Amino acid sequence: MSEPTSSYYERHIFFCLNERKNGEACCAQHEAQQAYDHCKSRVKALGLAGPGRVRVNKAGCLDRCAAGPVAVVYPEAVWYSYVDRHDIDEIVESHLKSGKIVERLLTPRHLGR
């Protein structure tokens, strides 16, 4: 039996960028694209990007619309609801760089779609 492979990235953050045309709540209504762009640039600027480090990715609907905008960090499976660039900076510095979860930005467990 082969040994399990290690993760290609130490941490992987996915930003929901889903946009609903029917007027239902969605992350795109809360400047999710700008948050993704900011996170990606901060991760690169801090030298955190690349294999064995951090990957910033776009995602379609993550089905947590009521908590939006949201992002999720793996492998810890930590869900964040954020408001602005300062929140993204805190997630990058604390969680992505140092491995410390930002408790104040955790998405409440009960909030789904």
CATH number at 77 reads 3.40.30.10
The number of folded domains in the chain is 1
pLDDT category, 4, cuts 50, 70, 90? low
Six-digit token pair at 111? 């909030």
* Cross-sheet strand order for the sheet of 78-81: 54-59, 11-16, 70-74, 78-81
Q: Which of 53, 113, 65, 56 is nearest to 88 (CA)?
A: 56
Q: What is the DSSP letter of 22?
A: T
Largest CA distance in the chain: 51
Looking at the chain, the whole-number percentage of residues with pLDDT higher than 70 is 95
pLDDT beyond 70 at 42: yes
Domain that holds residue 19: 11-105
Q: Note whether residue 6 is domain-resident.
A: no
Cβ burial of 58 (10 Å; 0-12, 13-18, 19+) is middle
**Average model confidence (pLDDT) for the chain?**
92
Q: Note whether residue 2 is domain-resident.
A: no
pLDDT beyond 90 at 49: yes
Q: Note whether residue 63 is domain-resident.
A: yes
| Mean pLDDT within 59-73 | 91
